């Protein structure tokens, strides 16, 4: 062994103990242009979950629970007609509450990619609400003066619209109040 590389003793190893460099391993040499271009790469996009696959999984869970009940009732020795009635009742009850069968992110297997994507989407939405970011946020828009000016004008127009609506509501409420007071006097 030399500088911590190699075998302590070549005995029984079937080699002579001579340490060689692996010439088949290629080293990657990054040019400064490659390193600079790495900053221009967009962040990874999160894949949207397929709703049809998630719905199918929920329905499959309903059928599994129905089958478990059917097997349990058959082991108990119930009549076949009674078993079918109870299984159908359970199926209808579970189909009404399909959303309650959704699993948490902790219970997912790595193969449940669509369920993981749905859990990630809800997590990102929750984080966006906590931070107060909007869905239409685009990175770097804060430095675009024209875009900021458009947003400012749009917000002013929306504010004026809200004020106009509020004034109309106040006037309507005042009329209602005056009408009610007139009825009370009579």
Asked if 1 and 8 count as a contact pair (C-beta separation under 8 A), the reply is: yes
pLDDT at 99: 66
User: pTM value?
Assistant: 0.49
The mean per-residue pLDDT over the stretch 48-59 comes to: 88
The mean per-residue pLDDT over the stretch 124-149 comes to: 87
Domain boundaries, the chain: 1-40, 51-131
Asked if 54 and 112 count as a contact pair (C-beta separation under 8 A), the reply is: no
Poorest-pLDDT segment among 18-32, 100-114, 155-169:
100-114
CA distance 135 to 121: 12
Asked if 58 and 101 count as a contact pair (C-beta separation under 8 A), the reply is: yes
The mean per-residue pLDDT over the stretch 157-163 comes to: 97
Asked if 115 and 108 count as a contact pair (C-beta separation under 8 A), the reply is: yes
């Amino acid at each position: 062994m030399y500088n911590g590389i190699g075998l302590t003793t070549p005995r029984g190893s079937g080699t002579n103990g001579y340490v060689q460099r692996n010439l088949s391993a290629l080293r990657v040499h990054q040019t400064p242009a490659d390193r600079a271009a790495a900053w221009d790469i967009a962040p990874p996009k999160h894949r949207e979950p397929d709703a049809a696959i998630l719905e199918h999984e929920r329905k499959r869970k309903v059928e599994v629970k129905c089958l478990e009940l059917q097997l349990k009732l058959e082991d108990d020795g119930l009549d076949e007609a009674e078993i079918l009635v109870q299984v159908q009742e359970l199926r209808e009850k579970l189909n009404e509450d399909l959303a309650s069968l959704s699993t948490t992110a902790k219970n997912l297997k790595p193969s449940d990619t669509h369920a993981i994507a749905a859990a990630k989407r809800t997590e990102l939405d929750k984080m966006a609400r906590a931070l107060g970011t909007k869905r239409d946020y685009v990175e770097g828009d804060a430095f675009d003066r024209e875009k900021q000016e458009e947003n400012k004008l749009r917000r002013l127009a929306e504010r004026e619209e809200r004020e106009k609506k509020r004034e109309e509501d106040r006037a309507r409420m005042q009329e209602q109040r005056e009408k009610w007071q007139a009825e009370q006097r009579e």
